[in-house]
Structure 1
Amino acid sequence: MTQNAANEASNLLDEINVLRDRARTDRHAFRFPLLFFGGFTLATAPLYVIDFELGARPDWPFPREWIDLVWLAGLVAGAGLTVWWYRRHGHRAGIQTSPRNPTIIWSTAGAAPLIWLLLPLVGFSLWFLWPFFIRSTFGLLAVALGLIALAWAERSRHLWAVTGLYTAAAVPAVVYDMQNQYYRLFHLFGVSPQEMPYGFLQGSSVLLPSLILLVGGLTVRRKTHP
């Protein structure tokens, strides 16, 4: 092979790599699900405060599982809107990542807390899974599972990084009462148990995961080529 032929082959390979990277960037449309689920997760924070404040009242007729129903509705809505967004993006960009697997996960995983409650009624129980469902924050984990599937489909380092950070924040919020950490923090600043904002901090578990998604969505790199 002559030097010119070698140079031409090298240039052709470089052009192929550029086109491949450009196509990969063009198909990325995960900005919307990050912003949607980040905003929805943040919007659930007041629900935990309301449930805490009203749950102590004898006339409050709803068990805490009503929050799980809200999560399920949000996950199904997010899945449907993500499908619409990806199709819209695909028509514009001419290339599209299939959101099928993550949207299926979001639509079905959100029902896990309700299924877990109904299992004893049919003589079957997975009682050892109670840490995942007792706090009505399982929706955080459902979002994480869908994001993992989406990151796999998108092949995006940015989305993998956001998903990793989000999952690391979501899992403790699902299996642990994160407000206990805030109580300790307030105590360090001299706040007495009588002065603790117990009701206000009930929604603290969803704050960090939601902020990670919102920041991740807002920092998605936009296309720079024509």
Structure 2
Amino acid sequence: MTDLPPAVLLDEMARLKTRTRADRHAYVPPLLLFGVLVLLAPLWSAGGPARFGVGIVWFGTALELYWLVAVVGGFLATACWYLCRGSRHGVRTPIRGYLAIGFVGVVAISFGLPVVESFTYRVQRSPYSQVSFAVPVMVIATVALVGCLWLRSTFESRAARAATTAAAVLAGLIALGALDLRFAPVRPYAPLVTIALGLIGLAWLERSRVLGVISGVFAAAALLANLYNMQNVFFHLGVFARYEGPQTQAFTNTLVPGLVLLAGGAVAWFHERGARA
């Protein structure tokens, strides 16, 4: 039996709970990694022909290959980091849902962007070329994705969880597909949304408000990069001309999302360091 007063015991238990949660959190390196990968994307945006074709669909532009490597490598590196850190500390966040989001994003990047670029004329004549159609489809699919993930956490049956997982994957593909069809011919930044969805899912799995806020701000920046040409802002500030080539355009559109992740990683590091103190 301990002679400590109940209030002191409660404070100690709260401190241990906070310390355990901080030990489980491991999202600072992924934030910094994805921030660097996003900022490096303009180096591969100079253009060029696709390198190989399957039927009448052409794949393999430099930017497509870079986004594929960046998203696959980023998600796998995050998974390996969580596994290694979990085995070292004895507590680990389950990451299967996070990897499922990465799979959806990889499918969208691998097939969505090449198909859009191979059939640009037909895509521009489809209903998805209209913002009034594409944006509601993306919003509805995203809401359905979040709802499926929430329902999945409430089910105990393996069959029900598998069904909601499949529905979430389908909703994610629809959302990213609508984004590709509407914006990829002009601004191929749908991979930013894939990264944002992965971080939002990771924040849910981590039960981290800090990561949730950072992911929400990054998601807003990712949507802005797809919905608006940020080079116009730099033009009005007198930094660049109206159009200086694809690399400058890519730089201006990925700068804000990349800096959000780097700044978010720094803020998260200071927060987690204080929680462990």
TM-score range, shorter chain: 0.7 to 0.9
Deviation readout 1:78-137 (Å, 9 max, x if unpaired): 11111110111112222111222222212321331443354999xxx8751322433211
Aligned pair in 2 of structure 1 residues 23, 192: CA closer, same or farther (>3 Å)? Answer: closer
Partner of 2:104: 108
Gaps of at least 5 residues in structure 2 are 52-57, 129-177
Q: Report the CA distance between 1:35 and its aligned residue.
A: 1.1
User: For 1:74-153, what aligned pairs fall within 5 Å after superposition?
Assistant: 74-116=70-112, 118=115, 128=128, 129=178, 130-134=181-185, 135-153=187-205
In the aligned structure 1, how far is the partner of 2:73 from the partner of 2:247? 27
Partner of 1:197: 244
In the aligned structure 2, how far is the partner of 1:156 from the partner of 1:85? 18
Q: Report the CA distance between 1:77 and its aligned residue.
A: 0.9
Deviation readout 1:166-198 (Å, 9 max, x if unpaired): 111110102222222222332xx8x876xx634
Aligned pair in 2 of structure 1 residues 142, 83: CA closer, same or farther (>3 Å)? Answer: same
From 187, 210, 213, the counterpart of 2:258: 210
Partner of 2:224: 172
Gaps of at least 5 residues in structure 1 are none
8 A Cα contact 1:72 1:107, kept in partner: no
8 A Cα contact 1:40 1:74, kept in partner: yes
* Count of paired positions: 205
Aligned pair in 2 of structure 1 residues 192, 209: CA closer, same or farther (>3 Å)? Answer: closer
TM-score using structure 2 length: 0.64
SS in 2 for 1:111: helix
Identity of aligned residues (%): 33
TM-score using structure 1 length: 0.77
Q: Report the CA distance between 1:68 and its aligned residue.
A: 2.7
Partner of 1:27: 24
In the aligned structure 1, how far is the partner of 2:60 from the partner of 2:232? 21
Aligned pair in 2 of structure 1 residues 213, 64: CA closer, same or farther (>3 Å)? Answer: farther
**Could you list the runs of 4 or more consecutive aligned residues of structure 1 that deviate by over 4 angstroms after TM superposition?**
60-65, 117-121
Q: Does 1:39 align with 2:36?
A: yes
Amino acid at match of 2:89: A
In angstroms, what is the RMSD of aligned CA positions? 3.0
Q: Report the CA distance between 1:199 and its aligned residue.
A: 4.7
Partner of 2:206: 154
Larger radius of gyration: 1
Amino acid at match of 1:209: P
Q: Report the CA distance between 1:69 and its aligned residue.
A: 3.1
